[in-house]
Amino acid sequence: MPKLTINPDAKIVHARKGESILRAVTGARIFLSQKCGGNASCTTCRIRLLTPASFTAPNPREKRRLTEEQLDQHIRLACQTLILSDGKVERLPSQINTIIITRIKEDDGN
């Protein structure tokens, strides 16, 4: 069972080989923004692969949604990227900002 490390908080998730990053992360109750239910249509689940060889190559859906620059920087869609072996990913600043805003709203009761 592959081990997935999610940075910047170094949370560790045990995932099934072939499982999407999004499914593994949300299954472990770690927040990762996404709006389309894993259909690669919203691109809000972008993450950076720190160990790219641990994951599948970009599929046609990702190639249509992400720029060459993003792909070169190992930015991928968590809903489309499958886990092959132990690996590390990093939530992007936009993901972290979403977490902070969500927690503020929860604390305010909104």
Cα separation, 33 vs 49, in Å, equals: 16
Calculate mean pLDDT across residues 21-25: 95
At residue 103, the pLDDT reads: 52
At residue 84, the pLDDT reads: 98
Residue 12, phi then psi, degrees to nearest 5: -115, 135
Residue 6: band (very low, low, confident or very high) from pLDDT cuts 50, 70, 90: very high
Query: Taking the domains of the chain in order of start, what are their residue ranges?
Result: 3-108
Tokens of 61: 């859906």
The terminus-to-terminus CA distance of the chain in angstroms comes to 39
79 vs 29, more confident: 79
Cα separation, 105 vs 15, in Å, equals: 30
pLDDT of 98 over the 70 cut: no
CB-based contacts of 78, cutoff 8 Å, min separation 6:
20, 21, 22, 25, 32, 34, 45, 46, 47, 89
At residue 31, the pLDDT reads: 81
CATH 3.40.50.300 fits 3-108, yes or no: no
At residue 101, the pLDDT reads: 47
Instruction: Tell me the range of 40-44, 77-81, 95-99 where mean pLDDT is highest.
Output: 77-81
